[in-house]
Chain A
Amino acid sequence: MTDRVLTATTHAHPAGPAVIAVEGELDYYTAAHLRQALQETAFTAEGIIIDLTDLTYCDSTGITVLVTAYHRAQASKAPLALVGLNPDLNRVFGIVGLHDVFASYPTVDEAIAAL
């Protein structure tokens, strides 16, 4: 349990949006890191990009955190995009019906171009 690691690093992209890069396993034990990073991020019209390229695992608690971000983005009319869903996460998103909820792109550049 202690070997589960997650880092969430936020930086402002020169093009405007805040990019939160998530790395590791997002689950019940580690979700607090991403939750906090999201709380510390302003949801503005510039947009928020959550980069999941280096995410290796995501459980139901992780999904909750992502959907909570979606709710907040809707409420504050801030564009939100996910980036780099790996095949496993793509499969999970398919099962739980989240492809219709989130805009997702292969790369940060493509997300920025679309926002």
Chain B
Amino acid sequence: MDTAHATATAPRGAGERRRTAAVDRYRTLDVHDGAFDRITALAARIFDAPIATVAFADGDRLWLKAARGVSAGLTEVTPGPGLCAAAVLQDTSYLVRDALTDPRTSGNPFVHGDPGVRFFAAAPITTADGHRLGTVNVADTRPRDATDEQLTALTDLASLVMDQLEVRLGAYRTVAAERELRSRAESLARTLQRTLLPPALPTVPGLDSAAAYHTASADQIGGDFYDLFPLDDGRWAFFLGDVCGKGAEAAALTSLTRYTLRAAAIYDPDPRAVLANLDAVLKGEYQGGEPRFCTVVFGVLEPAEDGGFTVTLASGGHPPAVIVRADGTVETAPTPGGQLIGILPAPRFASTRTRLAPGDALLLYTDGLTEARTRIRAMLGEDGLTAYLTAVAPQGADDVLAAVRKLLEDLGRGVTDDTALLALSVPTRDTTVPVQENR
């Protein structure tokens, strides 16, 4: 055994800085499963002593990672001379037979005050590269001796603590590395997703437009998409939809869907024909594997004499578009019976025609909105959305979008899916007539 003289003064300099860094590396590890409690229990039993602790020495502080026989909740202490602070400077075990008479511990408050330590033994917790992080300690309130076997066992327990720390640090690093990889993959998928949305909507003469993508969760991207683009005959086409699934696979399906819709619109812009083309392409692409589908509303805008537009809409499995009329009434553009695209043997696509007069606004949305669960966990649904828009009575695309975004914010965590929004409106032509009082 080693009872060589040691001072309680911690050495300073580069070596101590490296040691402190090593302590920090392990000290922050959470060991809450009782592994160190079993170590202190064993140490106490081996020495038949009432007090045992696992302590890390960090500069002039001691951190108790496990302790028995001391005040509950004690996790951090200022060490006095001659006990842990001295033991951590030793390469081997450390022994004080009677602290009251031992000159090394003469100024220690734990000796002269509570709990009145008389006997103290410790073994250093040493890293593979030789840094002593702290000590496993046993103490008694009466003076006594320790056998070589007991001190060897204490050294073994200190090695066990080190093994535990290494295992946990390894696991922690693996988890951290995996988390980093996953977050990088997610951010890549999200970047890809952004490239699938038009950076800005084109300016359509006589039409206001606004769009938004509401992200429900940072760690899984959805596959919502929208677009607005000119046809070569003076008409305009738009679409909004949602693909099944999440993540990179959804992003790939979104890309295929968006590209196909634009290509199909050039070939034959009839909305139902566009959806049928998309259906054929998806079935060809995902033959054999797990089927993939999307839901889409596709529309064509044709300028009308009165400055408004005639809108032809077709839906494949998508919630109906909502129209906020100039007088504040809210209605849906029903497309009942339209089926999922890309997954059913002979799907039907429903179409409808409506007019957008000056002051009217059309809202397309994906189901993150209507599947949003309100606080009572009931789904908001189309009725909820219609009632909300009726109460708020927004006017124009920007106003409609702002109202719905506010609704999404209010629903907060109830929105569990990404939501895409596209609003189109016809500006009121006569701006000399006050539209409405300030709201």
**Chain A residues proximal to chain B, CB less than 8 Å:** 1, 28, 59-61, 63-64, 67-68, 71, 74, 88, 91-92, 94-98, 100-101
Distance from A91 Cβ to chain B, minimum over Cβ atoms (Å): 7
Q: Are B244 and A97 in contact (CB under 8 A)?
A: no
Q: Mark B239-254, 1 if CB is under 8 A from A, else 0.
A: 0001111100000000
Distance from A67 Cβ to chain B, minimum over Cβ atoms (Å): 5
14 contacts between A and B (CB under 8 A): A61-B244, A61-B245, A63-B244, A64-B290, A64-B292, A68-B291, A91-B379, A94-B336, A95-B295, A95-B317, A97-B340, A97-B348, A98-B340, A101-B344
Distance from B341 Cβ to chain A, minimum over Cβ atoms (Å): 10
Interface of chain A: mostly helix, strand, loop or mixed: helix
Residues of chain A lying within 8 A (CB to CB) of residue B108: none
B337-368: which residues lie under 8 A (CB-CB) from chain A?
A: 337-340, 343-345, 347-348, 367
Give the docked Cα–Cα distance between A68 and B344 (Å): 10
**Chain B residues proximal to chain A, CB less than 8 Å:** 219-220, 242-246, 290-293, 295, 317-319, 336-340, 343-345, 347-348, 367, 371, 379, 381, 417
Q: Are A97 and B339 in contact (CB under 8 A)?
A: yes
Give the docked Cα–Cα distance between A32 and B265 (Å): 36
Distance from A94 Cβ to chain B, minimum over Cβ atoms (Å): 8
Residues of chain A lying within 8 A (CB to CB) of residue B291: 64, 67-68, 71
5 further interface pairs, Cβ-Cβ under 8 Å (given A28-B245, A64-B293, A98-B339): A67-B343, A68-B290, A92-B367, A95-B367, A98-B340
Among B245, B290, B319, which residue has its beta carbon within 8 angstroms of that of A60? B245
Q: Are B337 and A28 in contact (CB under 8 A)?
A: no
Q: Are A100 and B245 in contact (CB under 8 A)?
A: no
Chain A residue with minimal CB distance to B220?
A28
Q: Are B317 and A97 in contact (CB under 8 A)?
A: yes
Q: With A28-B220, A95-B317, A97-B317 known to touch, is A64 a contact of B339 (CB < 8 Å)?
A: no
